Amino acid sequence: MHQIKFTTLLIVFLQIFISLDFANASSKLENNLRLSKLIDLENPWGMDLIDSDNILITEKKGTLSIYNFLNKKIIEKIYFKDVFLKRQGGLLDVLYIKHNKQQFAYTCYQDQKTDLVIARHEIKNNKFFNKKIIFNSEHRSNNGVHFGCRMINYKGSILISLGDRGDRNNSQNPKNYPGTILKLNYQGIPDVNFENWKSGIFSIGHRNPQGLMYLKEFDEVWSHEHGPKGGDEINIIKKNKNYGWPIVTYGKEYWGGKIGFNRPVEGYEEPIWKWIPSIAPSGITYYNENSIKSFKNKILVGSLKFRSLYVIELKNKRPISEIGILKNKIGRIRDVLTHPNGYVLLISDEKNGGLFKLEKN
């Protein structure tokens, strides 16, 4: 009995010690940083740089804007009349691509038919022209959840993360788009095709992936996604692979029941990092600039649940530890981006949210 009490006390002491050490490390890191709000926005969701002076920003209600860092104001804004704003749906991510001397803004949103679509605008002199719907997911759902919908430029194509739309069975069905990562060319035409998979599907087995990046330094695509109760994860995305949901997951039902296998299973890709409990990750960037020394060669991930920014240390190109900073400083961090001038841009998706700048103090 005495041994059990001693062990319990030791565990409690170690937990307190680790918590204090973690808090001290977070405070020390934050003391070397300066946070400022660049502009007020209403429920913003995604951003992408046009160049070092201009950035594209979306708001869920249906606005696509260009913010100019030099003028410190929005210099162009349009409103999408066909956006359906419900729960997690609305106007979501945005991607800038320059191709053959033309500039394009790609956007991902839920339309009035409750389908998930990709639109493309031409950009000329920081103005938007010629909107065209280049893709729809062919899956209407009125429940308003699990859209995923991050987009990246990847070796002359676009990769798009699609959530399971609240139906986990979608993720193991390679004949439909929800629960997959999709690969399209710049015109919106699928440019990958695997036997028995719907054209354009790059990988399957995803739940709600809201972080996607191409790490050129590693020549790898990284994605993170929301698990249910626990089981948020980071994956290395490879073509024609299955990432498990809901057959393999490290999360549980929200009411506590088991889902599938909570261990590696042959034929399903294992995550390289897991969050238990969930942090509700959104947005991801690799910081490879020299300005903020404490971020150098680290991964930055926004957290909706804990309203924090997670700084993830790597060793041999894989995560080994993390520190959460900026807790409750700006609200739910929906997106994060590294600016070539060395600072970090953050989006808080609160109703009174905005675009923030994080730089060395």
Mean pLDDT of 315-335: 98
Any domain includes 157: yes
Any domain includes 214: yes
Any domain includes 6: no
Any domain includes 8: no
C-alpha R_g of the chain: 20
Any domain includes 356: yes
Mean pLDDT of 216-233: 97
Any domain includes 11: no
Q: Which helix (H) or strand (E) holds 221?
A: strand 220-225
Any domain includes 18: no
Q: What are the backbone dihedrals phi and psi of residue 301, each rounded to the nearest 5 degrees, phi first? A: -130, 130
**Measured between alpha carbons, how far is residue 298 from residues 40, 124, 288 in Å?**
28, 35, 7
Any domain includes 16: no
Task: Provide the pLDDT confidence category of residue 16 given band limits of 50, 70 and 90.
Answer: low
Q: How far apart are the C-alpha atoms of 245 and 308, rounded to whole Å?
A: 26
Q: Over the stretch 131-170, which tens digit does the pLDDT of each residue have?
A: 999 999 999 999 999 999 999 999 999 999 999 999 999 9
How many domains in the chain?
A: 1
Name the residue range of residue 91's domain: 31-360
CB distance 247 to 261 below 8 Å: yes
* pTM for this model (two decimals): 0.94
Q: Over the stretch 32-55, which tens digit does the pLDDT of each residue have?
A: 999 999 999 999 999 999 999 999
Q: How far apart are the C-alpha atoms of 81 and 64, rounded to whole Å?
A: 12
Lowest mean pLDDT among 12-21, 184-193, 227-236: 12-21
What CATH number corresponds to the domain at position 344?
A: 2.120.10.30
